[in-house]
Structure 1
Amino acid sequence: MKTNTPPPDYKGYRFPPEIISHAVWLYFRFSLSFRDVEELLAQRRIVVTYETVRQWCFKFGQTYANTLRRRRPRCGDKWHLDEMYLKINGKTHSLWRAVDQDGNVLDILVQSRRNKHAAKRFFRKLLKGLQYIPRVLITDKLKSYGAAKREILPGVEHRQHKGLNNRAENSHQPTRLREKKMRRFKSAKHAQRFLSAFGPIAGQFQPRRHRLSAREYRAILRGRFLVWDEITAVKLIA
Structure 2
Amino acid sequence: MKPLSFKRHRFPADVIRYAVWLYFRFSLSLRDVESLLAERGIEVSYETIRCWTKKFGPAIARRLKKLRPSPSPRWHLDEVVCRIGGRHMYLWRAVDDEGEVLELLVQRRRDTRAARKFLERLLRRQPIEPETITTDGLSSYSAALRALDLEHLHRPGRLRENNRAENSHLPVRQRERRMQGLKNQPSAQRFLSTHAAVYNTFSVQRHLISRPNLRRFRAEAHAAWAKATA
Match of 1:151 among 118, 142, 147: 147
Is 1:28 the equivalent of 2:20? no
Is 1:41 the equivalent of 2:33? no
TM-score, L = length of structure 2? 0.96
Question: 1:155 deviation in Å?
Answer: 5.9
Residue of structure 1 equivalent to 2:165: 168
Conserved in 1, the CA contact under 8 Å of 2:70 and 2:128? no
Partner letter of residue 209 of structure 2? L
Structure 2 stretches lacking a partner, 5+ long = none
3-state secondary structure, aligned to 1:82? strand
Match of 1:71 among 67, 74, 79: 67
Question: 1:204 deviation in Å?
Answer: 1.2
3-state secondary structure, aligned to 2:91? strand
Match of 1:58 among 54, 59, 79: 54
Conserved in 2, the CA contact under 8 Å of 1:135 and 1:156? no
Is 1:212 the equivalent of 2:209? yes
Question: 1:210 deviation in Å?
Answer: 1.9
3-state secondary structure, aligned to 1:180? helix
Distance 1:206 1:98 in 2: 16
Match of 2:136 among 134, 137, 140: 140
Provide the identity percentage.
Answer: 45
Question: 1:201 deviation in Å?
Answer: 0.8
Residue of structure 1 equivalent to 2:95: 99
3-state secondary structure, aligned to 2:137? coil
- CA offsets 1:87-140 (integer angstroms, 9 cap, x no match): 123321100000001000001000000111000100111111114320000000
Distance 2:219 2:137 in 1: 41
Question: 1:154 deviation in Å?
Answer: 2.4
Conserved in 2, the CA contact under 8 Å of 1:79 and 1:137? yes
Partner letter of residue 153 of structure 2? E
Distance 1:100 1:192 in 2: 20
Question: 1:9 deviation in Å?
Answer: 1.5
Q: What do you get for the CA RMSD once the two structures are aligned? A: 1.1
Partner letter of residue 171 of structure 2? P
Count of residues in correspondence between the two structures: 229
Structure 1 stretches lacking a partner, 5+ long = 234-238
Residue of structure 2 equivalent to 1:236: none
Distance 2:39 2:72 in 1: 42
- 136-145 vs 221-230, which deviates more? 221-230
TM-score, L = length of structure 1? 0.93
Which structure 1 residue ranges, 4+ long, deviate > 6 Å from structure 2? Answer: none
- CA offsets 1:58-102 (integer angstroms, 9 cap, x no match): 001111111111111100000000000001233211000000010
Conserved in 2, the CA contact under 8 Å of 1:139 and 1:165? yes
3-state secondary structure, aligned to 1:97? strand
